[in-house]
Amino acid sequence: MKKVKISKKIICAILSIMLVLSMIGCQSTPTDTTDSANTAETNMFKAGNYTATATGHNGDIKVEVIVDDTSITKVEILEHNESPSISDPAIERIPQSIVADQTLAVDTISGATVTSEAIIAAVTEALKQADGDIDALSVKKAREKTTSETAEYTTDVVVIGGGGAGLAAAVSAHQNGAEVIVAEKMPQVGGNTLISGSAYNAVDPGRQEKQGIEDSIDKHFKQTYEGGDKEGNTDLIRALVEGAYPAIEWLESMGMEFKDEVFTVLGGLWPRAHKPVEPLGTGYINTYENYINENDGIEVLVDTEVTELIVNNDKVVGIKAQGLNGEVIINANNGVVIAAGGFGSNVEMRDEYNQTWPALTNIKTTNHTGATGDGIILAEQVNASLVGLEDIQLLPMGDPETGSLSGNIEQGVENRIFVNKDGNRFVDEGERRDVMTKALMEQEDAFMWIVLDKHSYPTGDTKNNFNESIDELIEQGRAYKGDTLEELAEKIGVNPENLVKAVEKFNEAVENNESDEFGRTLFDQKIDTAPFYAGGRVPTVHHTMGGIEINTDAQVLDKDGNIIPGLYAAGEVTGGIHGANRLGGNALADIAVFGRIAGESAAAGK
C-alpha cells in the first residue's frame, strides 16, 4: 500500500478550520431540536416489556421481549406445551441468539424446527409492538469466525449416536467397566426414541396373565419371523425375543416405570406392548440420562457429527468428527459402537433403495431430522455388509400436515376402526403395518379417519400416547367430536349412513366375538358410547429395516461374513432382524436388547 505524507502546515490548517467550525456550531441555536433529531434517529425501539404468542408444534408459545431504546435486552419463553427434551435446545438457544446477535435472522435448531420458527414468530410480533424495524431486524448478521480447534480424546468405548440404542450401549458399556464417550450430531440426545409412541414388546407372564392373555417366547418369535416374511435372521430374532423382558427388568432396575397393563400396538399383532409411565419416549431417555448424570465415566458430546471411522491394522480404533468449534478426534481403546439410526429422513436414500412402494419423494416421515443414514454410510466405508436396505416401513398413521405420529387419537388396536372419506371401512385394522398402509394408499387422497368413542377417552383431559389430551386436539382442529355418529360424520364430511353402518358391523363382530368381513379378530369393546371422536391420518415413512449386518454379539460383519474388529452396531442402523416388515412394538425392544449387547461386547473388546 502506498503511504501518503502529510506536512505539519497542512495539519495546522486543518486544525484551525475545525476550531472555527466548532465555535460556529457552539453559537448556533436552538440546540434542543438538533439533539432531539439525533435521538430520534438512534432510537430503534419504544422501550418496554412486550408479550406475544405464536403456534408451535403442540400449541401456542408465549414470549416476553424486553427492549430499551437501542437494543433487545431479553427474550424469555413464558409458556409452551412443546415436547420435553425435543424442544429444549430451541427454547434455550433461540432467545439467546436473538439477544446476542440483535437479529431475528437466527438459525433454527435441527430437530426442533417448528418450535424454533414459532419462537422467532412470537418475538417478531413482540418487536412490532415495540415499533421495531422488522425488515432491518430480519437481516442475518455475519458472525466473527472463531479459530478452528482440534479436540482430541481417548476413551475405552466410543458410541456414535445418542438415541435409545446409543445411550443403552453407553450405559451397558459403563456397567461392564468401560469409560465411554457418546458423539451425537444433533443438539440434543434422544433420536427417534424420544418422539416414539413408546410401545415395547415383551412376553411378560406377570402382567399378561393378570389380563388373561396367553403368550410365549415362541409365539413372539413366530409372529416376528412370519411378520417379516421369513426374511429375518432367526438367530437375531431369537436374541431379540429372549432378551426383551430381561431388558425391561434392566430398565426398571435403573428406575424406569412401566404401566401395569399391556396392550396391542398398531401392527403389533398381539397384546404384549408395554407402555411407560412417562409420555412418549422420555422414560427411556430420562432413565439413561439419569444414570449418566449420576455416574462418572460417560461423556456425551452433542453437535458432534462423525465423519470418519479411524482404522489401524484392520481394526476400528476411533472416530473423526466435526464439532461446533472444529475437528474432534476420539480414540477408542476397546471399540466403536454405531447407533446412529436409520435413514427415514433421507429422501435420496429412500428413493435409491425403495423397491416396494410408489415413489416416496413426497411422503413425509415420523422420523426426527437427524435420521439420515450416516452410520450406514460410515460402515460401508470400512467394507461392512449391508442387508435389507430395500425394506422400508410405512405407517398409515401420519399427521396430515407433518407426517409425525403426534395427534394420533388411537389408544390401542382393539377399540377403534378406520374409515375412508366415504365413511366406509377398508381393511383389517389389526393387520400388519404394510398391509394397512397399502390399503390406505388405495383410498381417495390416501386419507382415513380413525373413529372411536368414550371408551378410549373417558374424559376430555384423557391423553393419547403422545401426551396430548383429546380436548387439546379438538381445540387445535386435529380431532373432532360428536354426540352422535351422525353429528361426527357431518363434522368430518363423510356419509353418515356409511359411518353408522361401519360402526354397527364392527359392533356385531365384537358382540359375537368372531372374525368380521375383513378378517379382523382383535376386539375388545363396542364403539357405542358418546361422545364419538375422529382424527385424520395419512401414510408416512416410519422405519428402515435394512442396515449394517451384525451377529448376536452385535459385532459388525464385513462383506465376506467376517467380523470387523473393534466395530459394533445396534438399533435401526442395523439390518437383518425384522425382515421385510417390523412388528409394532419391536423397535424399542430391539434397541434396548442389542444396545445392551453392543455395549457389553465393546467394553470387553470382543
At 376-435, the pLDDT tens digits run 999 999 999 999 999 999 999 999 999 999 999 999 899 999 999 999 999 999 999 999
Q: Which three cell numbers stand for residue 399?
A: 399427521
Judge if 583 and 511 occupy the same domain.
no
Q: What's the total number of domains in the chain?
A: 3
Range of the domain at 95: 48-137
Residue with cell 438415541: 163
Q: Is-contact 56 80, C-beta < 8 A? A: yes
Judge if 297 and 376 occupy the same domain.
yes
- Average pLDDT score over residue span 78-88: 82
Does residue 530 fall inside a structural domain? yes
Does residue 129 fall inside a structural domain? yes
- Average pLDDT score over residue span 301-323: 97
Residue 36 pLDDT greater than 70, yes or no: no
pLDDT at 145: 58
Identify the domain boundary among 137, 167, 197: 137
**Calpha distance 510→522 (Å, rounded):** 9
Q: For 110, list phi and psi in degrees, rounded to 5.
A: -55, 135
CA torsion, points 205, 209, 213, 216, in degrees to nearest 10? 20
Q: Is-contact 466 59, C-beta < 8 A? A: no
Report, as residue numbers or ranges, the catalytic residues. Answer: 433
Residue 340 pLDDT greater than 70, yes or no: yes
Does residue 502 fall inside a structural domain? yes
Judge if 405 and 462 occupy the same domain.
yes
Other C-beta atoms lying within 10 Å of the C-beta of residue 461: 10
Judge if 278 and 381 occupy the same domain.
yes
Does residue 255 fall inside a structural domain? yes
Residue 2 pLDDT greater than 50, yes or no: no
What would the pLDDT profile of 357-393 be if each residue is shown by its tens digit?
999 999 999 999 999 999 999 999 999 999 999 999 9
- Beta pairing partners, 329: 152, 320
Identify the domain boundary among 503, 521, 540: 540
Judge if 432 and 472 occupy the same domain.
yes
Does residue 16 fall inside a structural domain? no
What would the pLDDT profile of 178-202 be if each residue is shown by its tens digit?
999 999 999 999 999 999 989 999 9
Identify the domain boundary among 74, 106, 137: 137
Does residue 489 fall inside a structural domain? yes
* Nearby residues of 179 by Cβ (< 8 Å), 6 or more positions away: 155, 156, 157, 297, 298
Average predicted confidence (pLDDT) for the chain: 91
* CA separation, residue 264 to residues 194, 431, 537 (Å): 20, 11, 19
Q: Is-contact 570 598, C-beta < 8 A? A: yes
Q: Read off the CATH number of the domain in which 187 is found.
A: 3.50.50.60
Q: Read off the CATH number of the domain in which 457 is found.
A: 3.90.700.10
Judge if 535 and 554 occupy the same domain.
no
Judge if 426 and 509 occupy the same domain.
yes
Judge if 596 and 481 occupy the same domain.
no
Judge if 83 and 168 occupy the same domain.
no
465: left (phi over 0), alpha (psi -120 to 50) or beta: alpha
Does residue 1 fall inside a structural domain? no
pLDDT > 70: what percent of the chain? 92
User: Nearest CA to 186 among 203, 161, 158?
Assistant: 161
Q: Which three cell numbers stand for residue 185?
A: 450430531
Q: Read off the CATH number of the domain in which 126 is found.
A: 3.90.1010.20
Judge if 442 and 503 occupy the same domain.
yes
Judge if 305 and 184 occupy the same domain.
yes
Other C-beta atoms lying within 10 Å of the C-beta of residue 24: 9
Judge if 512 and 599 occupy the same domain.
no
Structure confidence at residue 86 as a pLDDT band (50, 70, 90): confident
Does residue 246 fall inside a structural domain? yes
